[in-house]
Amino acid sequence: MSDITETPATLLLVDDEANILSSLRRLLRSTGHTIHTAESGAAGLAILEREAVDLVISDMRMPEMNGAQFLEQVRDRWPATTRILLTGYADVSSTIDAINRGEIFRYISKPWDDEPLKLTIRDALETHRLRNENARLLVLTRAQNEELAQLNAGLEQKVAARTAEVEQVNSFLKLANDRLKQNFLVSIKVFSGFMELRGGAMVGHSRRVADLARKLAVKLQVPVKDQQDIFIAALLHDIGKIGFSDALLARPVSRMSGDDLGVYRHHAAAGEAALMPLVELKEAAGIIRAHHERFDGQGFPDGLQAGFIPLGARILAVANDYDGLQIGTLADKHFPPDEAREALARSRGKRYDPQVLDAFFELIGGPVPEPVSEKAVTPAQLAPGMVLARDFFARDGVLLLAADYVLDPPLIRQIQLMAQRDGGGVTLYVRTDRH
């Protein structure tokens, strides 16, 4: 890529590390842009006071004035300047604080990849150009409208023209009112889009889950206000993963263990905490916290059971897992739709609310999968060829074996030895329709 945009622009790079500034300057050397650098927020503000800057790229962690504080001042004093945040550490609250206070265009993790960074800068400058062009056209339109009003003064058509103008203004006012109602939802969609910036299986996941959850809520005749909360919760249900490393984000849940599993199991509560300062999102935040609870009480973070789990969370659980099974975020394999349906059916009354699950199957069409026939067995009763009917977890919550796993003699011996070490009390569920 030789140029980021056709028209040279003026950029300000702010970072307290000189080597980072040098790397950014080298990356942008061939673009023809005018580049200013500053090693602190205060120095950056001084440059902005004397130079017209199109785009500011600021590090998050800086002494005296951090990136959130610096970009907030840029927004207040130079609102037309586009803002990008560089962050080198996974801190959900600091990143969200910077997003809220500085109204940034994008955030980029350090270390960055050169080509995606250059594409992001190109998009930011193009957005800046379009915003300025819209402002110019708005001023021009207003001037032309004023001139037209003066030319029409005294003409017989003045009344008709004024009537049309009033009608147009009323139409604009109605449109503005409608847009105010939509503005909150648009902001939510912007927040939802931040996870998709990480790429991979996350792209499109929240939108698909939100669409499924809303349709399922309608089918279950949930009140309209609650439908909106469920839709918003579905859009933001993964916001607590914003601090996950790329490796953890790409790892299926079935392959997590130890510290990684602990981090993963905290994301629902972290998502609720991130949204709690916004009063309008209180109900949605509660749904996000509970969307990994299980109908049988074995979920997290609170171990809620059945009707104690918010209905919105029970709806979100079904929609989220149906899409997650297909995109490979829950298990190593990508389930086709029919196998995803069967996997959900196997957890009817365990992971999922039977009433919600039945309504979901009616919603997406096709025959309802037959319930799995199963029986409880002890490790001593296991036999080669038996097929697990449910996921098998260790005492610490680590997934040891997934449902549909076919048991063999070595594996049975390992399960029996583990049960002996744990002092017994281990129960497994095997299918009775397969052996």
Cα(4)–Cα(122) distance, rounded to whole angstroms?
5
Backbone φ and ψ for 393, nearest 5 degrees, come out as -110, 150
State which amino acid sits at residue 124.
Answer: A
CATH topology of domain 374-431: Molybdopterin biosynthesis moea protein, domain 2 (3.90.105)
Residue labelled with tokens 């009033």: 166
- Cβ neighbours, 10 Å, residue 421: 8
- Mean pLDDT, consecutive 10-residue stretches, the chain (435 aa), reads 61 93 90 92 94 92 88 92 81 66 77 86 86 83 77 64 67 55 60 62 83 94 92 90 82 82 90 86 93 93 94 96 90 87 90 94 77 83 87 66 79 87 83 74
193-364 is a CATH 1.10.1200.10 domain: no
Q: Is the dihedral of CA 225, 226, 230, 233 positive or negative?
A: positive
Alpha-carbon span 404 to 389, nearest angstrom = 6
- pLDDT for res 4: 41
Q: For the range 170-175, what are the long-range contacts, defined as Cβ-Cβ under 8 Å and sequence gap of 24 or more? A: none
**10-126 has CATH 2.30.42.10 classification:** no
**Residue extents of the structural domains in the chain:** 10-126, 193-364, 374-431
- Fold identical between 193-364 and 374-431? no
Question: Quick one: angle between helices 267-275 and 92-102, nearest 10?
Answer: 30
| pLDDT for the residue 194 | 62
What pTM value is reported for the model? 0.50
Query: Nearest Cα to 196, choosing from 252, 241, 253?
Result: 241
CA 259/CA 101 separation, integer angstroms = 32
> What is the per-residue pLDDT for 30?
85
For residue 180, what pLDDT is reported? 46
Strands 106-109 and 82-87, sheet pairing: parallel
Composition of the chain by helix, strand, coil, percent to 5: 55, 10, 35
Residues 57, 10 contacting (CB under 8 angstroms): no
Cis peptide before 384 (omega within 30 of 0): no
Which residue type is seen at 105?
F
CA distances from 347 to 118, 318, 371, 390 (A): 46, 10, 9, 7
Tokens of 122: 């190109």
Mapping DSSP to helix (H, G, I), strand (E, B) and coil, where does residue 424 land? coil
344 membership: H or E segment, kind and range: helix 337-346
